[in-house]
Homo-oligomer: A and B are copies of this chain.
Amino acid sequence: MPEVSTEYKNLMGKTLVALLSGPDQEGIVARVAGWIYEHGGNIIHADQHWDQEAGVFFQRIEWSVRSDTWADEAAFADHARSLGMTVRVEEMSTRSRVAVMVSKFDHCFHDLALRSKAGEFPAEFVAIVSNHPDLQKAAEGYGLPYHLVPALKGKKAEAEQQQLDLYRSLKVDLVVLARYMQVLSEDFLDRIGCPVINIHHSFLPAFAGGRPYHQAYDRGVKLIGATAHYATPVLDDGPIIVQDVARVTHRHNVNDLIRKGRDLEKTVLAQAVRFHLEHRILVYNNKTVVFD
């Protein structure tokens, strides 16, 4: 991502990013770029994708605007819609509000928290939600508000409602499942109103479901994997964002796979979260276009 100096930013007013998709048509690139140019915007990054098979056009476009000549984001969105596009416009300096859900495995939680502190994400972590009290102190050490929502037998609906209320009150833009070990109900996912990113500890679609490292060990694979994807009602079946693998041999037992896998899970989840927060991802046909 091109870095823009603060001075330049101030001069320019602000930087916007739009994600567009819609039926391919002649002149679409020119008509989007032309409108921005005519309204005093200066494009600083643009990436397109044409899915020839599906006949769909995708674009991520980033531009700076001078406060004196720029109309507004709504006007741009209207223009894009008049071209038949679905569109989302964001201001780059707006920091998303993120909730992280975690159970007892804490490696992804620590990794995300440290990256957040290091400034890797344009986001605020506004809530850590867990069904266990174990990470409360660690969360507070990072200055992150911690919410215990126990997963009691027969009380799933109440717990999910409590979570939904929390996310709504905190105006959460993204929920990250950082090895959260409870299955979220279809109802929860329907009602949450923001994307949910999950990390699954296998190379999907291999070894969906529980205990994937055990499954991988039993099958005798020579590579283990991790997959970050958007959560959908079908378990481990949502649009894949990032995947990576690590080499294993007959010498690695299940505990070794778990240990090696932790490193994969951390980097894969962090990269997916960063791509999402930088507005680089479009979803269609249960797949992702990732403009990296």
Binding site for B on A (CB under 8 A): 1-4, 26-31, 33-34, 36-38, 42-53, 58, 107, 110, 114, 118, 120, 141, 203-207, 219-223, 225, 239-245, 249-251, 253, 255-256, 259, 262-263, 267, 285-290, 292
Complex Cα distance A159/B127, Å?
A: 43
Complex Cα distance A187/B218, Å?
A: 27
Q: Copies of this chain, how many?
A: 4
Q: Are B118 and A114 in touch, CB under 8 angstroms?
A: no
Complex Cα distance A53/B26, Å?
A: 34
Q: Are A34 and B30 in touch, CB under 8 angstroms?
A: yes
28 A-B residue pairings within 8 Å (CB atoms)? A1-B251, A2-B253, A27-B37, A28-B43, A29-B37, A29-B46, A30-B30, A30-B36, A33-B33, A43-B48, A45-B50, A47-B48, A49-B250, A49-B251, A58-B250, A203-B203, A203-B206, A205-B219, A205-B221, A219-B240, A219-B287, A220-B286, A222-B240, A223-B225, A223-B245, A249-B292, A250-B287, A250-B290
Complex Cα distance A47/B47, Å?
A: 6
Residues of B within 8 A of A223 (CB): 203, 225, 243-245
Residues of B within 8 A of A34 (CB): 30, 33-34
Residues of B within 8 A of A29 (CB): 29, 33, 37, 43, 46
